[in-house]
Amino acid sequence: MSISTSILEELLQSLPHLRPQLYFKSSLTALSHAMEDQVLAVGEQPLVIASFQRERFYRQEAHRYLRISELTSQVYVLAAPETSFMNGSDHYETIAFEPGDQLSQEWHLVVLGKQYATCLICRERLKTAKETESEPMGMDQTRRFEGIWTFDRQVSCRAAELLLDRILLYRPDLADKIEQAKAEFLTTIPSQKQEIDPDPFAQRLVTHLQAGQYKLLKAYRSIAAKERKERLVNSITAAIRRSLNPEEIFKVAVQELGQAMQVCRCILYRCKATDSSTTITYESRKSSAIASLQGQSWSLQNNPLFQSVVQSQEPIAISNTDTEKRFDLTALKGVIEQGQIRSWLMVPVVYQGRLLGMVELHHCQATAHPWSDDEIGMVDAIATQLGVAVIQAEAYANLEDLNQQLEALERTRSNLIAITGHELRTPLSTIQVCLESLASEPDMSPELRQVMLSTALADAERMRTLIRDFLTLSRLESGRVEWHVEPLSLDECVELALSSLQARRSDTPLPQVTSQVSLDLPLVEADGEWLVEVLSRLLDNACKFTEPQGRVTIDANLTNLNSSRMMEVTIADTGRGIEPNRLETVFDRFYQEEGALRRTTGGTGLGLAICRQIVVGLGGQIWAESDGRDRGSQFHFTLPIARSSSDTVGVAPRLPSRISDDTPYNGRAPLKSKK
Out of 36, 360, 573, 662, name the contact with ligand ADP by CB under 6 A: 573
- Least Å distance between CB 274 and ligand ADP? 47
Q: Which CB sits closer to ligand ADP, 316 or 606? A: 606
Kindly state whether residue 607 participates in binding ligand ADP, applying the rule CB under 6 A.
Answer: yes
Q: What CA–CA distance (Å, rounded) separates 151 from 116?
A: 7
Of 327, 354, 395, 379, nearest to 270 by C-alpha is 354
If binding is defined by CB under 6 A, does position 593 make contact with ligand ADP?
A: yes
Judged by CB, which is closer to ligand ADP: 249, or 608? 608
Q: CB of 54 within 8 A of CB of 27?
A: no
Backbone angles phi, psi at 299, to 5 degrees: -80, 135
**Which residue in 518, 497, 483, 488 sits closest to 656, CA to CA?**
488
Q: Cα separation of 386 and 357, whole Å?
A: 9
In angstroms, the Cα distances linking 666 to 408, 412, 472, 600 are 24, 21, 12, 19
Of 370 and 595, which has the nearer Cβ to ligand ADP?
595
For residues 282 and 470, which CB has a smaller minimum distance to ligand ADP in the complex?
470
The residue from 603, 620, 653, 656 that contacts ligand ADP (CB under 6 A) is 603
> Which DSSP symbol is given to 668?
P
Q: Does position 592 bind ligand ADP by CB under 6 A?
A: yes
Phi, psi of 609 (to 5 degrees): -65, -40
Binding flag, residue 575, ligand ADP (CB under 6 A): yes
φ, ψ dihedrals at 596, nearest 5°: -60, -35
- Do residues 49 and 160 lie in contact, with contact meaning Cβ atoms separated by under 8 Å? yes
C-alpha distances (whole Å) from 328 to each of 36, 191, 304, 305, 316 are: 58, 82, 7, 9, 13
Among 120, 329, 608, 622, the residue binding ligand ADP under the rule CB under 6 A is 608
Cβ neighbours of 454 (radius 10 Å): 11
Taking CB under 6 A as the rule, does residue 515 contact ligand ADP? no
Let me know: does 117 contact 153? Beta carbons within 8 Å: yes
Q: Which residue is nearest to ligand ADP (CB)?
A: 603
- The C-alpha R_g of the chain, in whole angstroms, comes to 47
The one among 46, 246, 339, 605 contacting ligand ADP by CB under 6 A: 605
Q: Please report whether residue 634 would count as binding ligand ADP according to CB under 6 A.
A: no
Exactly one of 576, 612, 636, 668 binds ligand ADP (CB under 6 A); that residue is 576
Please report, as residue ranges, which positions from 50 to 109 form the binding site for ligand ADP (by CB under 6 A).
none
Residue (143 or 475) nearer to ligand ADP, CB? 475
Residue 147 in the binding site for ligand ADP (CB under 6 A): no
Based on the shown chain and the rule CB under 6 A, indicate whether residue 20 belongs to the binding site for ligand ADP: no
User: Is 511 a binder of ligand ADP (CB under 6 A)?
Assistant: no
Does residue 613 belong to the site contacting ligand ADP (CB under 6 A)?
A: no
Contact stretch for ligand ADP (CB under 6 A) within 83-91, 473-481, 590-598, 639-647:
590-598
Q: Is 623 in the site for ligand ADP (CB under 6 A)?
A: no
Report, in Å, the least distance between residue 524 CB and ligand ADP.
22
586 binds ligand ADP (CB under 6 A): yes
In the complex, the smallest distance separating the C-beta of residue 421 from ligand ADP, rounded to whole angstroms, is 17
Distance CA 95, CA 86 (A): 6
CB of 111 or CB of 614, closer to ligand ADP:
614
Q: Where are the beta strands (DSSP E) in 291-385?
A: 297-299, 316-318, 343-351, 354-363
Contacts of 420 (CB under 8 A, 6+ apart): none
316 binds ligand ADP (CB under 6 A): no
Would the CA dihedral through 579, 581, 584, 585 be positive or negative?
A: negative
Which residue, 32 or 626, has its beta carbon nearer to ligand ADP?
626
When the beta carbons of 237 and 536 are compared against ligand ADP, the nearer one is 536
Residue 427 touches ligand ADP, criterion: CB under 6 A: no
Are 391 and 355 in contact, with CB atoms under 8 Å apart? no
Task: Count interface residues toward ligand ADP (CB under 6 A).
Answer: 19
Whole-number minimum distance, CB 535 to ligand ADP, in Å? Answer: 13
Under the binding rule (CB under 6 A), the answer on residue 356 touching ligand ADP is no
**For residues 478 and 412, is the Cβ–Cβ distance under 8 A?**
yes
- Distance between CA atoms of residues 497 and 569, nearest Å: 13
Q: Choose which of 545, 554, 641, 645 interacts with ligand ADP (CB under 6 A).
A: 545
Looking at 20-28, 210-218, 373-381, 537-545, which segment touches ligand ADP (CB under 6 A)? 537-545
In single-letter form, the type of residue at position 383 comes to A
List 424, 578, 618, 622, residue binding ligand ADP (CB under 6 A): 578
Write the single-letter amino acid at 23: Y
In sequence order, which residues have a C-beta less than 8 Å from that of residue 555 and are 6 or more positions away? 515, 516, 517, 569, 570, 572
Minimum distance from residue 277 beta carbon to ligand ADP (Å): 46
Closest CB 669 distance from ligand ADP, rounded Å: 20
Closest separation between CB of residue 614 and ligand ADP, Å? Answer: 13
- Residues at the contact surface with ligand ADP, assessed by CB under 6 A: 541-542, 545, 573, 575-576, 578, 586, 591-593, 603-609, 633
